[in-house]
Chains A and B, each alone.
Chain A
Amino acid sequence: MLQIKNLHVSVQGKEIINGLNLEVKAGEIHAIMGPNGTGKSTLASVIAGNTNYEVTQGEITYNGKNLLELPIEDRAREGIFLGFQYPVEIPGVSMTNFMRTALDEIRQYRGQEPLSAGAFLKYMKEKKELVELQDKLNNRSVNEGFSGGEKKKNEIFQMAMLEPQLAILDETDSGLDIDALRIVAQGVNKLKSADNATIVITHYQRLLDYIIPDFVHVMYEGRIVKTGDKSLALELEEKGYDWIKEELKA
């Protein structure tokens, strides 16, 4: 589904990612871990198409298409979803209106008819239950006045609404209490299928108790330096990252 080859990314002349390779297939869950400032969030942003980052070398293909040539909104319409680390507030725009607009856009791109108002609201209600979001959400403005936990749940809710093929969750677990963490993780698990894939960026092994990854990657200095299964996450939790740095030096 997603192939990243020899990716190099700079921000204002400073290279953040240098020579990253990653392959994600349908049905897989990948976890990306690593110390702060090693380019994890940058990778998520580049896949989503954030223009603040400049891809200087390498390629990303998504379902056979050159992803780097697609505008941001087309990447979303092709099924890429980014769960933001810091979801932004959009005052005065209700969640209902926001989701309706987004869903209609995506459906139109796929040649589907827009949902009727009734069908849309019913669909929205179902998805809200999935992440145990309260009813009042509909009329609230996008992320405005949401608590940290609500914002993250809201990201998963949007993911449920848009049914992406490839979801990238950028530190969705940070700032969550244990109940919210469970809800978010359950949401992700319920949405999992043989046709979609998830990349989970996290600092903590805790999340991976709930979301069982097929692969755990360690990112360091702009590259994936080690890949393993979920036991690698446990090892990291226990020993930290220093031993990996040591290995690299050796």
Chain B
Amino acid sequence: MAQNEQDIIGEVTSSDYKYGFVSDIETETIAKGLSEEVVRIISAKKNEPEWLLDFRLKAYRKWVSMEAPDWAHLNIPPIDFQEIIYYAAPKKKAELTSLDEVDPELIETFNKLGINLEEQKILAGVAVDAVIDSVSVKTTFTDTLSKLGIIFMSFSEAVQHHPDLVKKYLGTVVPASDNYFAALNSAVFSDGSFCYIPKGVRSPVELSTYFRINAANTGQFERTLIVADEGAYVSYLEGCTAPQRDENQLHAAIVEIIAHRNGEVKYSTVQNWYPGNKDGLGGIFNFVTKRGMCEGDYSKISWTQVETGSAITWKYPSCVLKGDYSVGEFYSVAVTNNHQQADTGSKMVHLGKNTKSTIISKGISAGKSNNSYRGLVRINPKATNSRNFSQCDSLLLGDQCGAHTFPYIETSNASSIVEHEATTSKISDEQLFYCMQRGINTEKAIGLIVNGYAKEVLNQLPMEFAVEAQKLLSISLEGSVG
């Protein structure tokens, strides 16, 4: 680990947002604006079956009747939904059979992001689905996985090849009517990843989706659907970056996870969307609905997120613990700097008996940013002997940032136990002086202290991701202490 620390340290002193480049890829877009017609066009472009078009249209009609939520501790400028392009895709020739047919500029783009799409060069043990703008461009390792019966492909492909599975699960965890942004996504989602692990299979590799926004004035609306059948296990990674632009761009995604009896899904995110510049200009609006359903007894869903990007983050990865003895976990590090705003946390809804949930949230605020934890723990009358432990820590750097905690706890039976702990701290001058007296400069000292603070969460990440996340934490806070 110490060597990794060194790399991090090297990076901290130099870099800014390093994924801010724009790739020159031929893109096919439709006219901006949103209407029933646009929904039909998207569906037609993707050659979707009738039921899916209906799903979209219902969602659209629902969305029209809804209003954007304003309960979060966020200052969201009004979004003109008619100014957004809802479909942008890298142009491609018919069906791709090998990587040779992919636009070289596209491959280059992913190389720059450190994601190599050529299978022999890919980090052993990680299968990647690369989504650029709204379309999945390449999924790796599909053959290896399919031998085990694992389905891992872009959402559009899944609609074509496994319509029954998609139809069975789509919208069962996050219904289109769930919230404003979920309805919007359900109407216009363009692609994403689909993953199904059959009974008793443990995925031998980490599955990962890499999201990239490239085209200007577009929104990214992807959907991820993960199903772990009885006794199945998968670890899933998600990464995101976007070019540096002065306009805000909207990202409204949905992730749905279903775990059947004894099934387990571990979902890790390193979110690094462009956060806007130092004065708060530009950046991604990240309004995402992520929810997992522990459907069967003894199932388990675990969310781990490292959130460093986006101008505004509105996101509450949640678990519905329906099966008896099911387990939900949420581990989060959310960093805000400059003018970033984050309102993030989790919901744990206990329905089954003897269910257990854990929430560990570490907020880090710097600059003029605002960082809120919002969490709900609900224990229903029938969820007897259930347990929740929540720990929400906030770390402040400087005196112009804000940290807020909004815990909601609802327990409806007497046999369950809910614990909530919260702390707020600052990096003390004494800690910095101590590090510096040992020869470590300020920025490195902050990186060290912040990584130490977030360790409990970082330890939950798969190895490759943990290294990336540590670097990100240090970089995101660069120059935050004068």
Give bound CA distance, A48 to B430, whole Å: 13
Residues of A contacting B437 with CB < 8 Å? 48-49, 72-73, 75-76, 81-82, 84
Total A-B residue contacts, Cβ distance less than 8 Å: 87
Q: From residue 437 to 463 of chain B, which have CB atoms closer than 8 A to chain A?
A: 437-442, 444, 448-449, 451-456
Does A221 belong to the interface (CB within 8 Å)?
Answer: no
Determine if A105 and B440 form an interchain contact, defined as CB atoms under 8 angstroms apart.
Answer: yes
Determine how close the nearest CB of chain B comes to the CB of A8; give it in whole angstroms: 22
Q: How far is the CA of A90 from the CA of B448 in the complex (A)?
A: 9
Give complex CA distance A73, B441 in Å.
6
Majority secondary structure of chain B interface residues (helix, strand, loop or mixed): helix
User: B81 interface residue, CB < 8 Å from A?
Assistant: no
How far, in angstroms, from A92 to B6 measured CA to CA in the complex?
A: 17
User: CB-nearest residue of chain A relative to B4?
Assistant: A97
Q: Flag if B451 contacts A104 (CB, 8 Å).
A: no
Within 8 Å by CB of A90, from B6, B429, B439, B449, lies B449
Contacting B at CB under 8 A, from A77-98, are 77, 81-82, 84, 87-88, 90-93, 96-98
Task: A223 to B365: give the CA distance in the assembly, Å.
Answer: 44
Residue of A nearest to B441 (CB): A73
Write the chain A residue with the least CB distance to B428.
A88
Q: Scoring A residues 140 to 166 as 1 if CB is less than 8 Å from chain B, else 0, what string do you get?
A: 010000000000000000100010000
> Is the C-beta of B434 less than 8 angstroms from some C-beta in chain A?
yes
Q: A97-B448, A100-B5, A120-B2 are in contact. Are A76 and B430 (CB under 8 A)?
A: no
Residue-by-residue, is A5-38 near B (CB-CB < 8 Å gives 1, otherwise 0)? Answer: 0000000000000000000000000000000000
Partner of A101, one of B5, B428, B430, B442: B5
State whether B2 touches A96 (Cβ < 8 A).
yes
In-complex Cβ contact of B434 among A88, A101, A103, A104 (8 A): A88
A35 CA to B403 CA, complexed, in Å: 44
- Given A96-B2, A101-B9, A105-B444, A76:B452 Cβ within 8 A: no
From 1 to 28 in chain B, residues with beta carbon under 8 angstroms from any chain A beta carbon are 1-3, 5-6, 9
Tell whether A73 pairs with B3 under 8 Å between CB atoms, given A90-B431, A92-B456, A101-B9: no
The answer to whether B414 has its CB under 8 Å from any CB of chain A is no
Task: List A contacts of B456 (CB < 8 A).
Answer: 92
Q: How far is the CA of A77 from the CA of B5 in the complex (A)?
A: 19
Inter-chain contact A101/B433, CB cutoff 8 Å: no
Contacts of A92 in B (CB 8 A): 451-456
B6 contacts A104, C-beta separation under 8 Å: yes
Whether the pair B436, A76 counts as a contact (CB closer than 8 A) is yes
> Are B448 and A98 touching (Cβ within 8 A)?
yes
> Using a CB-CB cutoff of 8 Å, which residues 84-138 of chain A contact chain B?
84, 87-88, 90-93, 96-98, 100-106, 109, 114, 117, 120
Least CB distance, A147 to chain B, in whole angstroms: 18
Given contacts A90-B452, A97-B448, A102-B440, 12 further A-B contacts (CB under 8 A): A49-B436, A73-B436, A76-B437, A87-B434, A88-B428, A88-B430, A88-B431, A91-B453, A93-B452, A102-B435, A105-B438, A158-B438
**In the A-B complex, the 7 residue pairs with the closest CB atoms:** A92-B452, A93-B452, A92-B455, A76-B439, A102-B438, A72-B436, A100-B2
Task: Name 19 interchain pairs, CB-CB below 8 A, sorted by A.
Answer: A48-B433, A50-B433, A52-B429, A72-B436, A76-B438, A77-B439, A90-B448, A91-B453, A97-B5, A98-B435, A98-B438, A101-B9, A101-B440, A103-B439, A105-B438, A105-B440, A105-B441, A141-B452, A158-B438
Residues of chain A touching chain B, judged by Cβ–Cβ distance below 8 Å, are 48-50, 52, 71-73, 75-77, 81-82, 84, 87-88, 90-93, 96-98, 100-106, 109, 114, 117, 120, 141, 158, 162
